[in-house]
Structure 1
Amino acid sequence: MPQPLFRGVLTALVTPFRDGAVDEAAFRSLVKRQIERGVHGLVPVGTTGETATLSHAEHKRVVELCIEEAAGRVPVIAGCGSNATAEAIDLMRHAKAVGAHGALVVTPYYNRPSQEGLYRHYAALNDAVELPILVYNVPSRTAGDISNETLARLAKLPNIVGVKDATGDLARASLMRLMCGEDFVMLSGDDPTALGYIAHGGHGCISVTSNVMPGSCAKMVEAALAGDFAGALVWQDKLIRLHKALFLDASPSPTKFALAKLGLCGEEVRLPLVPCADAVKPAILDALHAAGIEVPLS
């Protein structure tokens, strides 16, 4: 059976800012570092990329920058989500035009569509743009949950190729695999449970932690996908504190704090997010040390 195009660790990239604008140089450097450290794909302008606060022009520019810098070395899955179907189609058309390999489309938020509404939303995207689509299910953020039954319907459409599952529900993963078929790409969107997700038949992880430790995350997932779960567990034990620490404050503020400590970008985020709270910084630094990164403790 051929391996899926989207497999392994795909980094949900942060969007660096400087003085209120996208820091294009820092972003290019982050993309270069990710590829050099062995990640298997890149996901710009998702939740971690603060897409909710980007203008449409900024959103599209970040996608273009990622594709330019990656230069075909790894797949780029562009965030194209919206709670307006027409807007998602526009973002997908741009992503296809500039060379993205796929689109990550979050379940529509705020307006809380029914399961039939969710099906029709993704079916409209499937029909409008010939680009592989990953359904992004993150009920904690969207106030909606796409069911396995709806995913099984969508899996029959030619451009709906898989899911980013950020529910943390491992039993759901096994049932999804049985309902959607072996060819349906299943990527965890939850770093702490990614190892278990792969054991349930998943193909990898769209990771936040790999912004900070791309090489270690890649090695953990590669070991798990190869069936070396003992080896993967060694990496998991090194990373688990960092997985948790990067969500001690509103994401991606902790991740940008960690990247700033590594000298890779600034801590700047956009309102309504604020920089990482001082109260949680010691725990993040401790987690970095536990993962093997030597950074100043203050």
Structure 2
Amino acid sequence: MSSDSSTAWLSGCIPDLPTPFNEAGEVDLTAFAGLCARQIKAGVSAILVGETTGEFSTLTSAELDAIIRTAASTARGRVRVIAGAGSNSTSEAVERARRAELAGADAILSVVPYYNKPMQAGIDAHFRAIANSTALPVVLHDIPERTIRELADDTLLKLSESPQFVGLMDSTGDLLRPARLRPMLHGRFRLLCGDDATFLAFLTSGGDGCISIASNIAPFMCQGLFSSYRQGRMQSVQHLQQRLSPLAGLAAKENPAAVKYALSLAGLMRADTRLPLAGLSNQAKAAVADAIAAIGKNGLDQESSFKEYATVA
């Protein structure tokens, strides 16, 4: 089916931003605004806040509202703000969606209900209740490793018939899924990979982008990778992928502790997480530092490096 420009913003490398904490363990909104601004400077089309990397399960409702407001005020309409608004309680997910809309989000990301192990009929009704509670576009999140239950293709296709459901963050690891689903989906519906390691294979299969952990650390390189892919410069793509892979793998393995530690080395935030998440071991810290050193600081943070990498023959 033909593509639809109304959801063109839901593509490329969209960072799943971490939530910084200060010495007192409170949300550091100044550091968070800096993280948002850094991604906007790199040219992202959207940012995701208050989700997995953002440690949403340990944030209060007031803290979630504050980071959404901060992201929206920093973005000033230049990029879309997607707010994590999932829960295994439908009533709580509805409340989070409403609060996200009031706080200034442009869209919400809602995960398949976890722990409860609902049937597909329950999953369908859960998402429709959320959509009925807000005017915001809804991006679905399928991650059976954490939720136990998957979002079945049939359920997804039924939901996608409503224009309010605009995309899927697919963390199933099924790299054939985009090719299987794309012929049956409206062109406005976007398919996003939930794993940096399989991003390229997902694109090749018909995907539109990635909700990225690695973009937090190397936003210009991630944008360069996607830009090179769209332009058909596969040598550039392979070059960037090889440079990014070790760091992306470490970030995904210990998310968000590894991302936070990497950003702390750059002076962008503290490395603190909230329990039950703990900080990295000394061995893991050394591995992250080595991976960053292998790329080089300019490769992580500067537009000149993005241009250089994106123009490899």
User: Does the TM-score normalized on the shorter chain lie above 0.5?
Assistant: yes
- Give the SS at the match of 2:187: coil
Deviations 1:33-91 (Å, cap 9, x if unpaired)? 11112222100000000000001111111111111111111111111111111111111
Contact 2:247–2:288 (CA under 8 A) maintained in structure 1: yes
Partner of 1:27: 32
- Give the SS at the match of 2:211: strand
Contact 1:203–1:225 (CA under 8 A) maintained in structure 2: no
Deviations 1:154-210 (Å, cap 9, x if unpaired)? 101121111011122211221122232332111111011111111111111111111
1:270 pairs with one of 255, 263, 274: 274
Q: Which amino acid aligns with 1:164?
A: M
Q: Distance in 2 between matches of 1:131 and 1:116?
A: 23
1:214 pairs with one of 215, 219, 239: 219
Q: Distance in 2 between matches of 1:62 and 1:131?
A: 18
Q: Distance in 1 between matches of 2:159 and 2:298?
A: 45
Q: Distance in 2 between matches of 1:169 and 1:291?
A: 29
Partner of 2:305: none
Q: Which runs of 5+ in 2 are unaligned?
A: 300-313
Tell me the CA shift for residue 248 of structure 1: 3.5
- Stretch moving more, 95-104 or 254-263: 95-104
Aligned length in residues = 294
> What are the equivalent positions in structure 2 for 1:1-298 lying under 5 Å apart?
1-3=3-5, 4-18=8-22, 19-249=24-254, 251-293=255-297
Q: Distance in 2 between matches of 1:111 and 1:65?
A: 32
- Give the SS at the match of 1:105: strand
Deviations 1:222-269 (Å, cap 9, x if unpaired)? 2223333332222111101111011333x1001101011111100110
Q: Distance in 2 between matches of 1:148 and 1:231?
A: 34
Contact 2:68–2:104 (CA under 8 A) maintained in structure 1: no
Contact 1:238–1:291 (CA under 8 A) maintained in structure 2: yes
Q: Which amino acid aligns with 2:290?
A: D
Q: In structure 2, do the counterparts of structure 1 residues 33 and 127 end up closer, same or farther at CA, with 3 Å as the change threshold?
A: same
Tell me the CA shift for residue 7 of structure 1: 1.4
Q: Give the TM-score normalised by the residue count of structure 1.
A: 0.94
Displaced runs of 4 or more, over 4 A: none
Q: Distance in 2 between matches of 1:122 and 1:164?
A: 14
- Stretch moving more, 131-140 or 88-97: 88-97
Contact 1:80–1:92 (CA under 8 A) maintained in structure 2: yes
Tell me the CA shift for residue 294 of structure 1: 7.1
Q: Which amino acid aligns with 1:280?
A: A
Q: Distance in 1 between matches of 2:186 and 2:245?
A: 30
Contact 1:248–1:280 (CA under 8 A) maintained in structure 2: no
Q: Which runs of 5+ in 1 are unaligned?
A: none
Q: Distance in 2 between matches of 1:211 and 1:42?
A: 10
Tell me the CA shift for residue 26 of structure 1: 0.6
